[in-house]
Amino acid sequence: MHELSLCQNIIDQLTDLAKLHDAVAVARIEVRVGALSGVEAQLLRNAFTLIQAGTIAETAELITEETAPRVTCRTCGAESETLPNNLSCPVCGNLDTKLIDGYELILARVELVRNED
């Protein structure tokens, strides 16, 4: 499953981050999932619960935020959010657009738990 290796990658990043910041655990993470990334947010959350046990993120809450694709229009120059099944320019309706966002899977926010003593 694709999502499992993505989660493993996220856990690896969290492990490095925690080490860097002297943290003992990860409380919460937010991941941005692009609408065209091919990743199902629900599957990603399921996969995360499967592999988080025994890692620095064992008790972490995973929040996913699905982001719409963005295009710039080669005709009117507008930059807009659009729909995954319709990448035409929402401003002028032209189909000659360039996709600038939508494929990404980004670790947007991480809350670490530090050792307080």
* Least Cβ distance, residue 89 to Zn ion (angstroms): 3
Cβ neighbours, 10 Å, residue 54? 8
Using CB under 5 A, count the residues that bind Zn ion: 8
> Is the Cβ of residue 24 or residue 76 nearer to Zn ion in the bound state?
76
Q: Cα–Cα distances in Å, from 26 out to 17, 81, 85, 94, 113?
A: 9, 32, 36, 45, 6
Is residue 76 part of the contact set for Zn ion (CB under 5 A)? yes
> Is the Cβ of residue 38 or residue 93 nearer to Zn ion in the bound state?
93
Query: Which residues does residue 98 pair with via DSSP β-bridges, in sequence order?
Result: 72
Q: Which of 87, 92, 107, 113 binds Zn ion (CB under 5 A)?
A: 92
Q: Which of 71, 89, 105, 110 binds Zn ion (CB under 5 A)?
A: 89
CA gap 11, 51 in Å, rounded: 9
> Is the Cβ of residue 6 or residue 89 nearer to Zn ion in the bound state?
89
